[in-house]
A and B are shown apart, each in its own frame.
Chain A
């Protein structure tokens, strides 16, 4: 029997179900080459490549639009004559069949990586195809999501966005990963789906398929083969917690009545109905990228008016903060030439795109569409720009919004420069919203995509909280709202800290609203200020969390 284990609980809730592991990438056996019959070995390798391509074809048929286009291009790669040539050559050089396949993919991977930029990203696609081919050669399942036919706890080393895209919330009841951190993709996804999740639990490597586990996504505790009495107690407590959350309603306020707007983040039309059904005061961050990414031409103004109108209609009478397009070399648009950027997170992204002619007209079209949609509906529409660094950029954007008939224009604060000079930034616009995910990445100089730096990206980092404090203080002096939209606002304890630092609204995953409201209702504003002081006094993120939890 496996002992209890703990990781970092990143999405509260408890669940009890058998484990199903993400099919791992198969480890290739030792190189036993040369193959006695290289011609037969080449035929075997080609058959495996064809099986991989055929599987992709099947999935491309089920998909539509861009996804189908991508899968179609992917299926050409295993069938590529040059790949077969490389395998033949590696076999002739005395490699075993699996190692000849690895070498052949490696050859193209190195060539693509050397080219850099867009092509270097395709290198990861080749790794995936290589792993699939090896799995077929070894008679193993192709790497990917399990489908045991009953509800299960998904266990994985880590989850890639591609793995989670197909996740079915009806069958996956909780997620455990060996790696990852509080701001990892897994954590964000689990929170948005309301699934209990535990990350950074290396001991989970020992959990085998079929083992019954009890998972607590709040405390991070995982109990394999628990006693029935314990399961009942935990699930009873979970039912009570869910009921308490369901009972919490109305606008956010502290125990002594200080109002804090609780808002939801919205990133796609698919999530709209569920987001609108949540008891909140509106949308604090409406990400508009979904209209622009994964397509070959820019959306027309009419198409945008329609899409924004659907959101404004669903939030009729409530506030909706629209963030203008945040694209760039890290989220490239097919219809804009982004050029080669060696460092896309620091490049022409967000409002900086408007420096180019193409980006400037995209922004004008977008503001025209937002204004037209706002005209037709009764939502209170605010607009803000991503990646603002200077007061000049903030003022210029606000002027542009007003010229389009949009009266309330603000600034995302995700660049440290904008936080440091928040009072000047607020002189030229009406409000600010702290994007703590990017602000953390830029403050700690830690790439959000780099799992090895997860603890630097922890939203409890005191340096990040210092910048939140500066911006909130500037807002108080200017008597302009300064909110937080980012993972930080989804954590009930951290939400209290943010309120203590002076932020006026919290925007979060819709599933997090009830828990944040319930926590906030138990603390006075003075409590929140005390918690904030403790967090700022800490040297490390983990220490800040510990100190505040003990408050």
Chain B
């Protein structure tokens, strides 16, 4: 059970290429700007640091996959809002 100050969000990845290449880069950059510490995980797998492009790539999340974001610390809800919105944007589209 997550402690009470840890917030969680389930999001489906919109970009067709998945969380790779440019979508992963944009997501990691946005995560690094957040005051809260955010992790991202695929169902049943270890969560990884959302700021780490390398860890995001090894996560190998594809378009349509559901991922779990967790945020801990100041502004956790706002961070989740921003990062969830980023994942729900199709970055393949022009």
Contact = CB atoms under 8 A, between A and B. Distances in A.
A334 interface: yes
Nearest to B48: A82
A72 interface: yes
A296 B94 CA distance: 7
A165 interface: no
Nearest to B91: A296
Given A73-B25, A296-B94, A337 B16 contact: yes
Contact of A76 (B21, B25, B92, B94): B25
A12 B54 CA distance: 45
A119 B92 contact: no
Interface in B1-50: 16-17, 20-22, 25, 28-29, 48-49
Interface string A322-335: 00000000000011
A76 B28 contact: yes
A170 interface: no
Interface stretch (B55-63, B65-73, B74-82): B55-63
B86 to A, nearest CB: 16
Contact of A111 (B29, B49, B58, B92): B58
Contact of A80 (B21, B53, B92, B94): B53
Contacts of B55: 80, 82
Contacts of B25: 72-73, 76
Contacts of B20: 118-119
A1 B22 CA distance: 52
Contacts of B94: 296-297
B74 to A, nearest CB: 19
Given A73-B21, A76-B25, A115 B51 contact: no
A66 to B, nearest CB: 10
A229 interface: no
A313 interface: no
A83 B25 CA distance: 15
Contacts of A108: 54, 57-58
A258 interface: no
Contacts of A119: 20, 57-58, 60
Contacts of A80: 52-55
A108 B52 CA distance: 11
A80 B29 CA distance: 11
Interface residues of B, number: 20
A83 B22 contact: no
A72 B29 CA distance: 11
A335 B52 CA distance: 25
B60 A73 contact: no
A546 interface: no
Interface in A62-83: 69, 72-73, 76-77, 80-83
Among B52, B54, B92, chain A packs the most CB atoms within 10 A around the CB of B54
Nearest to B94: A297
A449 B35 CA distance: 46
Nearest to A334: B92
Interface string A107-126: 01001100100110010000
Contact of B22 (A69, A82, A297, A337): A69
Nearest to A72: B25
Nearest to A114: B58
A73 B22 contact: yes
Contacts of A76: 25, 28-29, 53
Contact of B53 (A73, A297, A337): A73
A532 to B, nearest CB: 48
Given A72-B25, A119-B20, A81 B57 contact: no
B58 A112 contact: yes
Contacts of B22: 69, 73, 296
A77 B56 CA distance: 11
B29 to A, nearest CB: 8
Contact of A122 (B17, B28, B57): B57
Contacts of B57: 108, 111-112, 115, 119, 122
Interface of A: 69, 72-73, 76-77, 80-83, 108, 111-112, 115, 118-119, 122, 296-297, 334-335, 337
Given A82-B55, A296-B94, A337-B17, 10 more contacts: A72-B25, A73-B21, A76-B28, A80-B53, A80-B54, A108-B58, A112-B57, A296-B22, A335-B92, A337-B16
| Closest A-B pairs by Cβ, 3 of them | A82-B52, A111-B58, A297-B94
Interface of B: 16-17, 20-22, 25, 28-29, 48-49, 51-55, 57-58, 60, 92, 94
7 contacts: A73-B53, A76-B25, A77-B54, A80-B55, A82-B54, A118-B21, A119-B20
